[in-house]
Amino acid sequence: KGDILDDYLRTDGVWLLTRNKQVYNTNNEKECAEKCEAERNFNCRAFLFTRKKLQCLTLAENTKMTVTFDSVDVVLYEKKIIHLKNTPMQGWKKTTAEILMGMNVDPGVTQQILLPDLITVTSQSVRARSRTLEKNLQWNACSVMVKTTMENFPEQSLGFSASTGMPKSLICMDLPQNTMHLPVSGLGSQCLSGKGENYRGRIAVTESGKACQPWNTQFPHKHGWIPDRYPCKGLEENYCRNPDGEKRPWCYTINGNVRWEYCAIPHCDGPEQGIADVPVQVPLPEECYQGRGQSYRGTASITASGKKCQAWNSMFPHRHEKTPDRFPDADLRDNYCRNPDGDESPWCFTTDPNVTWEYCNLKRCDDHTQKPAPNDPPATTAQNSDLSTPTTSDCINGNGKDYRGTVAKTARGRTCQEWSSQKPHSHKYFTPVTHPGAGLDKNFCRNPDGDVNGVWCFTTDPEKKWEYCEIPRCSSSEHDCGKVSTRSERAC
């Protein structure tokens, strides 16, 4: 029986901050691990042990997500295999009896073959039941962990001849439930199957567009997933992987404030099996741009075919030169759709390694708003003229003369009449033509005459010509902010 600490990744000198934790006093790390195993208050995924104070902190789920910082006296232990609540698993370090062989004989044809009875391993021998499959296996160089876990199995007892190309140390025992995982061709799975533990693709960006930190570095995040220690996990470069049984592949990010995130990996069951992007139901575009969208500053980050955008400051999966520092005026933030180079419409590099870039899932504002007059200047030349949403807010400053929001009901609930309409009330004077700078769009509440009581509109009620609208003031943040009516008695 192995050491209880074998189930954990050890990282020295890292304090990991989590909200959900429990504090114990234990004499050593093993006792702390036992506390973690026995934790009833939450699903213990890691623990911290302070060597001077002999303090033991068991930590709850999602430990990778939390902030870490250096702390000399502490040792962090993170569980290697995450036992998700709905899929309880037993540890693998019991009597070896049966092997599941996960292999990728011919990528694109067979992603994974799980044959529980293909090979049987006992402490004395290994018997292969299928010779034909053996020939197709391509073995990786793999194995520090195997040497230790398989030391009881003599090379000759493995039942494979030298002609299979399988060196002594190539069996990785890294899955739970007495499962052995035979490493396979270097390609591995290029798409997401199950929880993606077998994923060996090259996506290296998280689902929110953050670039991944290389597994063999400890900056900005210290961690215990060191490639040399876990050769079977495919921890190459900074590619998304799932070495610990998470829900799907993930990576530590190069953002110091976000320790890790999941990656968006295309599913294997997509129409173009193996390499295709997942078919995504592309939502109807919510935002719009004007002109060519060069000053679009919205937050859309999905392409027209439903792919996620790559962050502009990231070079994964696509290297490019459209970086925020080279286009300082283009607002190349996060992975938002932009048009830094005068293309036809906002676009982005995609997180799909096979598709470099695409136009975004945005519509032209002209499609649903009134067309600009023929002599209007092109939107792209006017500062702020093609923001995704009008530069309006639903609150008013002063008497609301500058209000350009979209409230179109009066304080008494009557619907406003369109400013350009003369029905039911004929007014003639307050029209978009007579007051071109007053924002008399549609039937929105406005204050074209500077009424001291605020914004108003003609109503669609024939009995009521006009009424004020009730729109909250936004002045509070500037003029009335930070004042409290109640002062607390602070005795302590």
Partner 1 sequence: MCNASPGSWPWHISLRMSNNMHHCAGTLIHPQWVLTAAQCLQRPTEPSAYRVFLGIQNLIASEPSLQIRSVQKVLKEPSGADIALLKLNSPVTINDHVKPVCLPETSLMVGRNAVCFLTAWGKKRGTDTDNRLKDVEFPVLENRICNRPEFLNGSVKNNEFCGGFTFGSIGNCEAEAGGPLVCKDKDRFVQYGVTSWGLDCTQPSKPVFVRIPSFVSWIKNAMAAH
List the beta bridge partners of residue 98: 120
| Phi, psi angle pair for 222, to nearest 5° | -75, 145
When asked if residue 480 is in the footprint of partner 1 (CB under 8 A), the reply is yes
| Among 367, 307, 357, 309, CA closest to 337 | 309
Q: Rounded to whole angstroms, how far apart are CA atoms 385 and 69? A: 44
- Within 34-63, the residues that bind partner 1 by CB under 8 A are none
Total residues in contact with partner 1, by rule CB under 8 A: 48
- Residue 486 within binding range of partner 1, rule CB under 8 A: yes
| Selected binder of partner 1 within 162, 373, 452, 491 (CB under 8 A) | 491
Q: Interface with partner 1 includes 397 (CB under 8 A)? A: no
Q: How far apart are CA 139 and CA 167, in angstroms?
A: 8
Smaller CB separation from partner 1, 115 or 395: 395
Cβ atoms within 10 A of the Cβ of 56, count?
A: 23
What residues are paired with 59 via a beta bridge? 21, 46
CB 177 within 8 A of CB 277: no
CA–CA gap between residue 356 and residue 358 (Å, rounded)? 7
Q: Does 123 engage in binding with partner 1 (CB under 8 A)?
A: no
**Is 485 a residue that touches partner 1 (CB under 8 A)?**
yes
Site for partner 1 contains 208 (CB under 8 A): yes
67-75, 139-147, 165-173, 361-369 -> range binding partner 1 (CB under 8 A): 67-75
329 is a site residue for partner 1 (CB under 8 A): no
| 239 touches partner 1 (CB under 8 A) | no
Single-letter amino acid code for the residue at 135: K
**Closest approach of partner 1 to the CB of residue 62, in Å:** 9
Per CB under 8 A, the list member of 6, 134, 269, 334 interacting with partner 1 is 334
The three-class DSSP label of residue 289 is strand
Least distance (Å) between residue 317 CB and partner 1: 20
Of residues 242-301, those binding partner 1 (CB under 8 A): 255-258, 261, 297-299
Residue 324 beta carbon to partner 1: minimum distance, rounded to whole angstroms: 8
Contact between 89 and 177 under an 8 Å Cβ cutoff? The reply is yes
125 belongs to the binding site for partner 1 (CB under 8 A): no
CB 355: neighbour CB atoms within 10 A?
A: 15
Q: Using an 8 Å Cβ cutoff, are 206 and 193 in contact?
A: no
Output the smallest distance, CB 441 to partner 1, in A. 19
Cis peptide before 424 (omega within 30 of 0): yes
Q: Can you tell me whether residue 390 is helix, strand or coil?
A: coil
Coil, strand or helix: which one is 367? helix
Beta bridge partners of residue 78, listed in sequence order: 9, 46
Q: Which stretch binds partner 1 (CB under 8 A): 68-76, 354-362, 371-379, 449-457?
A: 68-76
- Burial class, 305, CB count within 10 angstroms (exposed 0-12 / middle 13-18 / buried 19+): middle
- In angstroms, rounded to a whole number, what is the distance separating the alpha carbons of residues 200 and 185? 10
65 binds partner 1 (CB under 8 A): yes
Three-state SS at 397: coil
Q: Which of 2, 25, 67, 219 binds partner 1 (CB under 8 A)?
A: 67
Nearest to 244 by CA among 195, 291, 290: 195
Interface stretch with partner 1, choices 96-104, 127-135, 169-177, 390-398 (CB under 8 A): 390-398
Among 69, 229, 272, 328, binds partner 1 (CB under 8 A): 69
Q: For partner 1, which residue of 119, 172, 387, 416 counts as binding (CB under 8 A)?
A: 387
Pick the binder of partner 1 from 148, 389, 420, 422 (CB under 8 A).
Answer: 389
Select the span of 350-358, 389-397, 422-430, 433-441 touching partner 1 (CB under 8 A).
Answer: 389-397
Binding of residue 17 to partner 1 (CB under 8 A): yes
Beta carbon nearer to partner 1, 144 or 474? 474
Residues numbered 454-473 forming contacts with partner 1, rule: CB under 8 A: 472-473
* Rounded distance between C-alpha atoms, residue 360 and residue 350, angstroms: 10
* Least distance from partner 1 to the Cβ atom of residue 486, Å: 4
Shortest distance (Å) from residue 57 CB to partner 1: 8
Q: Residue 214 Cβ, how far from partner 1 at the closest point, in Å?
A: 18
What residue type is assigned to position 98 of the chain? E
The residue among 390 and 424 lying less far from partner 1, judged by its C-beta, is 390
Distances (CA, A) of 399 to 124, 226, 450, 469, 470: 89, 63, 7, 11, 12
- DSSP H or E stretch at residue 476: helix 476-479
Residue 415 beta carbon to partner 1: minimum distance, rounded to whole angstroms? 18
Closest CA to 224 of 467, 58, 5: 5
Q: Residue type at 316? A: F
Question: Binding residues for partner 1, per CB under 8 A?
Answer: 15, 17, 19, 21-23, 65, 67, 69-72, 207-208, 255-258, 261, 297-299, 333-334, 387, 389, 391, 393-395, 472-474, 476-477, 480-492
